[in-house]
């Protein structure tokens, strides 16, 4: 039990979520990046160019299609997607393609949010039943079982809130967002800002994060 608890405490984002009493973790990056923040002009990428078409597609990806994790690189125009139908692979897509509804429908099979949650649960059930899984240390089996029992996926309204506020975070003066990762399985949002700081926020604490950090 001691090693099990140690493993859970050691990770910033563990198998049971964000390890923080405030449900928010801040990571500081290269200090030289912070010192030169005001000197670096914002680069307008293809994500910025197509943002109005992309936002509803991002929401559709997470709520109605196969994506369970979405990385949006505002500075480099890179969009990375992980799918429940091929969970080990991370696909990379261009922003202009992802803005096209027909492209979205070709690339990402439709699945309801409830069915996607059930598929994720069933995938873990199958993993735990595999003979190789039985070889892992007992404390890891316990951790995985605890995660299964405690798991609450990101709620649809939380996803809508995150997606609809991305443009606001990108348009912030000086300390604007460079990239964001939305993960419905871990119920977290990982945001990197222009000052090279990273914020890992639980979906349930996201609104409070905005209140505390957005300019009024």
Question: By the 8 A CB rule, do 108 and 81 touch?
Answer: yes
Quick one: tokens of 47? 């994500």
pLDDT at 6: 65
Nearest to 141, CA basis, from 155, 164, 124, 153: 124
* Spatial distance between the Cα atoms of 189 and 98, rounded to a whole number of angstroms: 20
Find the helix or strand (DSSP H, E) in which 69 lies.
strand 67-73
pLDDT at 215: 63
**φ, ψ for residue 53 (rounded to 5)?**
-85, -30
Residue 66 has a CB neighbour count (10 Å cut-off) of: 20
Find the helix or strand (DSSP H, E) in which 113 lies.
helix 113-129
pLDDT at 193: 86
**φ, ψ for residue 100 (rounded to 5)?**
-90, 120
pLDDT at 19: 46
**Residues paired with residue 199 on neighbouring β-strands, in sequence order:** 26, 191
In the block, tokens 């914002």 appear at 42
Give, for all 216 residues of the chain, the pLDDT tens digit.
577 666 656 554 544 444 444 455 554 544 544 454 555 566 789 999 999 999 999 999 999 999 999 999 998 899 999 999 999 999 999 999 999 999 999 999 999 999 999 999 999 999 999 999 999 999 899 888 888 888 889 999 999 999 999 999 998 877 788 999 999 998 889 999 886 678 888 888 888 888 887 665
């Amino acid at each position: 039990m001691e090693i099990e608890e140690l493993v859970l405490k050691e990770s910033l984002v563990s198998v049971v979520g964000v390890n923080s009493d405030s449900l928010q973790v801040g990571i500081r990056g290269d200090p030289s990046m912070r010192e030169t923040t005001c000197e670096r002009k914002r680069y307008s990428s293809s994500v910025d160019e197509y943002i109005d078409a992309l936002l509803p597609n991002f929401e559709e990806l997470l709520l109605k299609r196969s994506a369970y994790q979405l990385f949006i690189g505002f500075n480099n125009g890179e969009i990375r997607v992980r799918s429940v139908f091929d969970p080990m692979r991370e696909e990379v897509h261009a922003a202009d393609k992802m803005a096209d509804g027909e492209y979205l429908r070709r690339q990402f099979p439709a699945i309801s949010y409830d069915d996607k949650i059930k598929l994720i649960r069933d995938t873990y059930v199958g993993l735990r039943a595999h003979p190789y899984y039985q070889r892992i240390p007992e404390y890891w089996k316990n951790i995985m079982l605890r995660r299964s029992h405690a798991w609450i996926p990101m709620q649809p309204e939380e996803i809508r809130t995150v997606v609809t506020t991305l443009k606001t975070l990108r348009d912030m003066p000086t300390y604007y967002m460079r990239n964001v990762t939305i993960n419905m399985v871990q119920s977290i949002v990982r945001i990197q800002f222009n000052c090279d700081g990273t914020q890992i926020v639980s979906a349930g604490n996201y609104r409070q994060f905005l209140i505390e950090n957005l300019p009024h």
